[in-house]
Amino acid sequence: MKKPKKRNKIPFIILFIIHTSMLGYSFYKSKNKKQLFTLLMADIGFAYLLEYVVLNVFHAYTYKPKIMKKNFFDNVFGAILSQGIFVPFTAVFSTVLKIGWVGKLFLGGVYFSLVELIFIRLKVYKHNWWRTIYTLILIPLYFKISDWWKMFLEKRNPIVRVISLFLMILVTEANLLFLFAATRKIRFGIGRYHAWREHFIMVPLYAITLSSFSTLSFLKQNNWSSKLRVLIMTIGLDQLFKRGKVVKDKFHVVDYFTVRVLVIFLYGWFRDIVYGVRNRGEHNSEGKVLEKNHKST
């Protein structure tokens, strides 16, 4: 008899509850929640970049949460749960609680290695060429990078701030493009038939390109000019890919513009979180303009 599909979901649901609770506690303990949000998005971004190479390109392992009908989407969704929630939420928890190397080894390496082995036993996850020893070594190191990143954010390091903004935008683009693909709104590829394997190799490169330009556009300030540049660039890039038959989409024009305008405003908000709101005029009750220079978060 085949194992009921809903049983595959249970381990992922349990981990989701555990790690979401850890993140909630981290925000409760943090005094600077905007900075912590920046750190969280940066941690997710780093995990996504690694996952692109390890999973999308080289197929190191396979997830089987049985949440989505198509196996390829189910695999990617499992990776999003792991690299977008379980691991980065724990990294933030480790950083906020200032857990040392020994704690990171147990909370990161040993804990996630045991989870990995249990998932393999439950047949909701399998290794292709990946080995548990890689998890044991890499996750504590990833947790330490999270510590360093928070330290540099506190020091307002210019390079770390730029990369953080880029990663915040990249995470949003990656999740949005996955949603579009899952709802059959968009598919990337070369040639007449666009395979999903090909799509998930190409789409991160598209997201990286958009995120890089958006970051540069919002670097100096969040204003209408910056938003317009990003919108024009996005439309231009999409049209270029359509003419080159690299992308197929089923968007209505109104839906497309609505989504793009909303995310552009979101990216402006990200910029204000990372750099702070500068020189914004606000009128008081007497009609005078009050210039406020808010310090960066």
- Helix, strand, coil shares of the chain, percent, nearest 5, are 70, 5, 20
Decide: residue 198, CB within 10 A, 0-12 exposed, 13-18 middle, 19+ buried: middle
Q: What is the pLDDT along the chain (297 residues), one digit of tens a residue?
A: 455 567 899 999 999 999 999 999 999 999 999 999 999 999 999 999 999 999 999 999 999 999 998 888 999 999 999 999 999 999 999 999 999 999 999 999 999 999 999 999 999 999 999 999 999 999 999 999 999 999 999 999 999 999 999 999 999 999 999 999 999 899 998 877 778 888 999 999 999 999 999 999 999 889 999 999 999 999 999 888 888 888 888 888 888 889 999 999 999 999 999 998 754 433 333 333 333 444 444
Beta carbons of 132 and 112 less than 8 angstroms apart: no
130 phi, psi to nearest 5 deg: -65, 150
Strand pairing class (280-283; 247-249): unpaired
For residue range 194-239, list pLDDT tens digits in order: 788 889 999 999 999 999 999 999 998 899 999 999 999 999 998 8
Other CB atoms within 10 Å distance of the CB of residue 160:
20
Give the 3-state secondary structure of residue 199.
Answer: helix
Cβ burial, residue 128 (10 Å; 0-12/13-18/19+)? exposed
DSSP state of 61: E
Surface-to-core class of residue 286, CB atoms within 10 Å of its CB (0-12 exposed, 13-18 middle, 19+ buried): exposed
pLDDT, tens digit, 9 for 90 and up, residues 13-46: 999 999 999 999 999 999 999 999 999 999 999 9
Which residue(s) pair with 282 in the sheet? 290
